[in-house]
Chains A and B, each alone.
Chain A
């Protein structure tokens, strides 16, 4: 059974650019959550997707957006990148819906110059 996978592993962008990060949920998991982890801090909740709709959102501006596809995979899009967006972006999937245990992928390290 394949766990949660994320791509790319590392990414370097310039301020003002746009970026798309991808997440494949663990087999059978239908809920995906995204988190941002700045250096030295704990992860912060961005949003959660269930049945292809945003199911809840943390304190992040609208330039952070996402998608979930019929196969439950997900994308995180960030527009107008800022230097403070440099972080480890983590995806987590849940097997039985929004209230079940979340299992994390390895993350994507984004550096904004």
Chain B
């Protein structure tokens, strides 16, 4: 079962910041939060990940609350090409060695001009 909850859909105006929330209240101390996005049933595209600290890369910023029970993905200047399904994922350990991404249903972000 998914360990995250996200709003089903969100809208954003082109050029504005898109802030996508995610709740992961049952996350364990060593489990990472990952964000991917998927456009038109293509393969999911990696965006960013974090454990405790806030992270930033060329695509987005990830803000994780101090208690790690929620996080927010920020796309600073949304464009039409950012329209996609965004998945907030908890990466879990499997068999004490491997890892698996546990996807929920994601948030459909619609960016309009």
Q: Which chain B residue lies CB-closest to A100? A: B99
Flag if A56 contacts B43 (CB, 8 Å): no
- Candidates B36, B99, B102; contact of A98 at CB < 8 Å: B99
Q: For the complex, give the distance between the alpha carbons of A37 and B85 in Å.
A: 13
Flag if A48 contacts B105 (CB, 8 Å): no
Flag if B98 contacts A55 (CB, 8 Å): yes
Query: What residues on A are CB-neighbors of B49 within 8 Å?
Result: 101
Query: What residues on A are CB-neighbors of B45 within 8 Å?
Result: 104
Query: What residues on A are CB-neighbors of B42 within 8 Å?
Result: 106-107
Q: Any chain B CB within 8 A of the CB of A102? A: yes
Q: Give the interface size bracket for B toward A.
A: 20 to 34
Q: Give the interface size bracket for A toward B.
A: 20 to 34
In the assembled complex, the CB of B33 is this many whole angstroms from the nearest CB of chain A, namely 12
Interface residues in B86-106 (C-beta closer than 8 Å to A): 87, 94-95, 97-106
Q: Which chain A residue lies CB-closest to B49? A: A101
Known: A107-B41, A107-B42. A99 touches B99 (CB 8 A): yes
Flag if A106 contacts B101 (CB, 8 Å): no
Flag if A103 contacts B99 (CB, 8 Å): no
Flag if A58 contacts B100 (CB, 8 Å): yes
Interface residues in B16-51 (C-beta closer than 8 Å to A): 34, 36, 41-46, 49
Q: For the complex, give the distance between the alpha carbons of A88 and B41 in Å.
A: 8
Q: For the complex, give the distance between the alpha carbons of A4 and B101 in Å.
A: 17
- Candidates A4, A56, A106; contact of B94 at CB < 8 Å: A56
Q: Interface of B with A (CB < 8 Å)? A: 2, 34, 36, 41-46, 49, 87, 94-95, 97-106
CB-based closest 5 A-B pairs: A42-B103, A56-B94, A104-B43, A56-B98, A55-B98
